[in-house]
Structures are given as structure tokens and as C-alpha cells.
């Protein structure tokens, strides 16, 4: 049963991270150069049009970190054990997807290619750690309450 729960947690975390990144890109309408919402069909043309715009790629790094953190939190909330490890798994999968994007579409600036390694793992770790700290505090509070009741 834990395998199914953990698999669902990872899929939910990936979906939330992907949705956050996609919606983050759509926030600024001047960046979107196509009418229909089909991000994979237009991605190469879009990246080509953004070649010199370092602000876009900086924002993409920021929104990727935010999305990975939120996805890591969602994953850590769903899994029972090894919350931080599963959150880091979200970061690893998102890094793999970003590396495929960089390999397939060559229009990313060099700082982006380097920074994705420094974005996905730390931010997904932070997402898992947030949940782990909250759960740890709750368990300490429960233990303290039990100790007070037994006196």
C-alpha cells in the first residue's frame, strides 16, 4: 500500500511543480507569442524568440525553484516515511526534465544551464524539510502533552 501512496505522491508533486512553472510563465503576457495554450508545440519557437532576454530565464529559474518547493511540500505531505527523500526525488525528476529541455532546445543561455543544477535539488529539499520540521514539532508537542497528562 505504501508503494501506491508514494507513487501517487510523486505524481502529484510533479503535477503541482509543472503546473506552477507553466502558470508562472503565463503570468506575463508579453512573453507569450502564441495564441493557443499548447506549451510543447510552441516551446522551441518561444525559446528562440527569448534568446536575448535574460530576465525571462532568470524568472524561469525563480518560478522553477518555487514550483519545485511547492511540489516537494505536496509530496512530503502525502508520503508516510522519508519525506525529505521523496521531495528530493521531485527535484531529481524536474532536473532530468530540465536537462532534456536544454539538450533538445539549444536556445538557453549558459547561466541558465548551470543554474538549473543549483535550483532544483536545494528547493525540493527545502520543500521536504518544511514538512519534516512541521511533523517533528507536532510529534514533540504530542509527547510533551502526554508527559504533562501523566503527572
List the chain domain ranges: 2-150
The pLDDT of residue 147: 82
**Which set of grid coordinates corresponds to residue 144?**
510533551
Distances (CA, A) of 17 to 4, 61, 84, 108, 117: 20, 13, 16, 20, 16
The pLDDT of residue 75: 95
Separation between Cα atoms, residue 31 and residue 34, nearest integer Å:
9
Contact 63, 23 (CB under 8 A): no
DSSP state of 9: H
For 66-102, the pLDDT digits (tens) are 999 999 999 999 999 999 999 999 999 999 999 998 8
The pLDDT of residue 88: 94
The pLDDT of residue 105: 84
Residues (pLDDT < 70) of the chain are 29, 31-41, 151
Q: At what angle do helices 2-26 and 54-78 cross, to 10 degrees?
A: 150
The pLDDT of residue 71: 95
Query: What b/e string do you get for 76-104 counting C-beta neighbours within 10 Å, with b at 16 or more?
Result: bbbbeeebbebbbbbbebbbebbeeeeee
The pLDDT of residue 38: 59
The pLDDT of residue 37: 56
Separation between Cα atoms, residue 133 and residue 98, nearest integer Å:
29
Amino acid at each position: 500500500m505504501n508503494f501506491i501512496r508514494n507513487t501517487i505522491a510523486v505524481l502529484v508533486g510533479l503535477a503541482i511543480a509543472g503546473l506552477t512553472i507553466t502558470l508562472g510563465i503565463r503570468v506575463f503576457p508579453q512573453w507569450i507569442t502564441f495564441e493557443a495554450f499548447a506549451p510543447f508545440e510552441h516551446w522551441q519557437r518561444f525559446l528562440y524568440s527569448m534568446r536575448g532576454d535574460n530576465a525571462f530565464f532568470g524568472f524561469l529559474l525563480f518560478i522553477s525553484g518555487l514550483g519545485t518547493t511547492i511540489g516537494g511540500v505536496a509530496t512530503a505531505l502525502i508520503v508516510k516515511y522519508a519525506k525529505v527523500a521523496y521531495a528530493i526525488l521531485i527535484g531529481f525528476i524536474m532536473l532530468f526534465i530540465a536537462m532534456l529541455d536544454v539538450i533538445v532546445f539549444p536556445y538557453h543561455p549558459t547561466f541558465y544551464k548551470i543554474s538549473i543544477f543549483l535550483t532544483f535539488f536545494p528547493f525540493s529539499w527545502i520543500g521536504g524539510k518544511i514538512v519534516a520540521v512541521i511533523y517533528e514539532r507536532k510529534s514533540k508537542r504530542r509527547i510533551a502533552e502526554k508527559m504533562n497528562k501523566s503527572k
